[in-house]
Amino acid sequence: MPLVSGLEVINECVSRGFVAGAFNTTDLETTLGILDAVDKVGVPTFIQVAPTNVALSGYEYIYDMVARRLEKSSVPVALHLDHGKSLDAVEAALAARFTSIMIDDSEASYEDNIATSSTARQMTPAHLALEAELGSIGGKEDDVAPEYAAHTDPAQAKDFVEKVRCDMLAVSVGNQHGYVPNATIDFDLLAQVWDASPVPLVIHGGSGLPSEQLSRLHEFGVVKVNVASDLRNAMIRSFGEAYAANPNEASLIRVAKDAVAAISDVVERRIRTFNPSVN
Ligand SMILES: [Zn+2]
């Protein structure tokens, strides 16, 4: 089926009680690994790329790769811009026919964050999804570590969402990007933010959180959980192990297929962790 809007993934997940995984791709092997797992489990999903990671491929290649693979899939999947830190990135992803957008001006002042995110809303057609971030998520995002992390203030959540008119809200409630040893969700804070937010929530940093926390997020209004580091790790480890086992390996295809299988395995386990009700 064709790519669907991020709104459709959100709505279907909310109505069916699912949490969508949001998995970062940069390349063919990762894309195939993600979508093989999505087909197997059948839960609506976001596949995404951040501006820092289109250096190799560009937005159009990512779109073509994902859309081509989805022709043989029947699961709703949206193509999402992860951490659009500039309006130029938003414009580029929309021009490449992405169906879901994140604007991230969370390190700016509250007022500037609202202004930039509102402009992104004006640029993003109403039938496509917009994610905005309130509070700044720490840890290492791709190659960039933010200067500071700040928890989401529940008192700001309603005002922010109403002013920006975003469809989902990325929150900072103890989650951290990458593998940060002390990453842990403050569920009291998450509950307060969910109570205040008119739209479903997004948790970044899924790779670094314990499974028992990830499997509770559906009870707290979370509709999307981002996973990137796990997939890069699976890919690099798979190629590295192949080289270590046989530095003279002649079949790149065999090694690449093993990497696809390793990524698929990680994605399947993550989707099942987010959705304990899925068999
Ligand atoms: Zn993130």
- What pLDDT score does 143 carry? 54
Residue 109 placed within a domain: yes
- Which residues, chain by chain, have CB under 5 Å from ion ligand 1? 204
For residue 63, the domain's CATH number is 3.20.20.70
Q: Please report whether residue 105 resides in a domain.
A: yes
Query: Looking at the domain assignment, is residue 241 inside a domain?
Result: no
Residue 39 exposed, middle or buried by CB count within 10 Å (0-12, 13-18, 19+): middle
In this structure, is residue 180 part of a structural domain? yes
* Type and span of the H or E element at 232: helix 229-245
176-177 vs 222-227, strand pairing mode = unpaired
pLDDT of residue 269: 98
| Residue 236 located in a structural domain | no
Report yes or no on 246 lying in a domain. Answer: no
Residue 84 domain-assigned (yes or no): yes
Count of other CB atoms within 10 angstroms of residue 65: 20
Residue 244 lies in a domain: no
| Domain tally, the chain | 1
Give the Å distances, CA to CA, from 79 to 30, 98, 132, 239, 274. Answer: 14, 5, 16, 26, 20
Q: Give residue 139's pLDDT.
A: 83
Q: How far is the CA of 253 from the centre of ligand 1 (A)?
A: 31
Tell me the average confidence (pLDDT) per consecutive run of 10 residues in the chain, 279 residues long: 97 97 97 98 98 91 97 97 97 98 96 98 98 90 64 96 98 93 93 98 96 97 97 97 96 97 98 93
How far, in Å, from the CA of 175 to the mean position of ligand 1? 10
pLDDT at 184: 94
Q: How many whole angstroms separate alpha carbon 119 and alpha carbon 106?
A: 14
Report CA(140)–ligand 1 centroid distance (Å): 9
pTM: 0.96
CA distances in angstroms from 83 to 141, 143, 169, 203, listed in the order given = 9, 13, 12, 13
Give backbone dihedrals phi and psi of 124, rounded to 5 degrees, phi first: -90, 115
Per-residue pLDDT, 129: 98
Rounded to the nearest angstrom, the distance between the alpha carbon of 126 and the centre of ligand 1 is: 23
The candidate with the shortest Cα–Cα distance to 146, out of 74, 231, 52, 54, is 52
Domain range enclosing 202: 6-231+262-274
Give the catalytic positions in this structure: 82
